[in-house]
Structure 1
């Protein structure tokens, strides 16, 4: 009886571990997203220019705009994405499109003021000629218990 119970526990743990694994393509997008947060913190416009699709859309709490304006904001320090603490990440790939969701706490400097906000960030990537391009980045502020 003990051996059967132990075997069942091992089987359940093994099944949960295998379900939590990402495909190589999913992991590639997750890693790219993580790199993007670092490039944004570093204000590395060169790497971001390579990553952002020329027709990308960026949605923030204060408005929405395209790639050129997002890059100019990052270069000028209008928004400095100082640090993104990633709490959860999931990705779904549909054909040549990857939809990634990040639950983050973002420490940023906006208009000279340091702010921290909890966000759900939606990132949409499109695979073009064997590389992923960011097509959309949208921030949705999450309510905290004190916000209600």
Structure 2
């Protein structure tokens, strides 16, 4: 049982690292969380069949005009040897400076994980089902002021 609990903890850390890598624009770290042959679906036609393709597309889409934060909650993880599956609740927020929008939403991630020959867990399949998403214009909130921006030039 201890090994299964250690695997679950390692997979939780993997998913948290995946989100942190994207939010901090650490593309090398993001790619390291993914199996090279990952299959990913984020809705809205965003589907990928490789880690390299996924990271390059996300890198282009998430430029410095978009601040993001993703929160993963309530993991349900099942481990079966070197394979595992997981379900997560997601909440996210995006400050889109270029079009003066605040975007918020939630969804459910359904993942599969694979432990590599090096013993490292990686995401081998991920699918996001969006539960809701909404946008608010900064212009509708006259008091809105961005007071910190880790991506500012």
**Structure 1, residues 60-110: CA drift from partner, whole Å, max 9, x if none?**
121211222211122213486811123311111112111121111122468
Please tell me whether residue 62 in structure 1 is matched to residue 44 in structure 2. yes
Please tell me whether residue 83 in structure 1 is matched to residue 69 in structure 2. yes
| Runs (5+) with no aligned partner, structure 2 | 134-153
What is the alpha-carbon distance in structure 2 between the residues aligned to residue 77 and residue 31 of structure 1?
25
Please show how residues 13-32 of structure 1 align to structure 2 within 5 Å.
23-32=5-14
**Structure 2 CA distance for partners of 1:139 and 1:108, relative to 1, 3 Å:** farther
What is the alpha-carbon distance in structure 2 between the residues aligned to residue 75 and residue 93 of structure 1?
31
Q: 2:32 aligns with which of 16, 36, 50?
A: 50
**Does the 8 Å CA contact 1:43/1:74 hold for their aligned counterparts?**
no
| Runs (5+) with no aligned partner, structure 1 | 1-21
Please tell me whether residue 139 in structure 1 is matched to residue 128 in structure 2. yes
Larger helix fraction of residues? 1
Relative to the length of structure 1, the TM-score reads 0.71
Question: Counterpart of 2:80?
Answer: 94
Q: Partner of 2:128: helix, strand, or coil? A: strand
Name the Cα RMSD after superposition: 2.5
Q: 2:19 aligns with which of 15, 26, 37?
A: 37
Question: Counterpart of 2:105?
Answer: 117
Relative to the length of structure 2, the TM-score reads 0.69
Bigger Rg, which one: 1
**Structure 2 CA distance for partners of 1:108 and 1:122, relative to 1, 3 Å:** farther
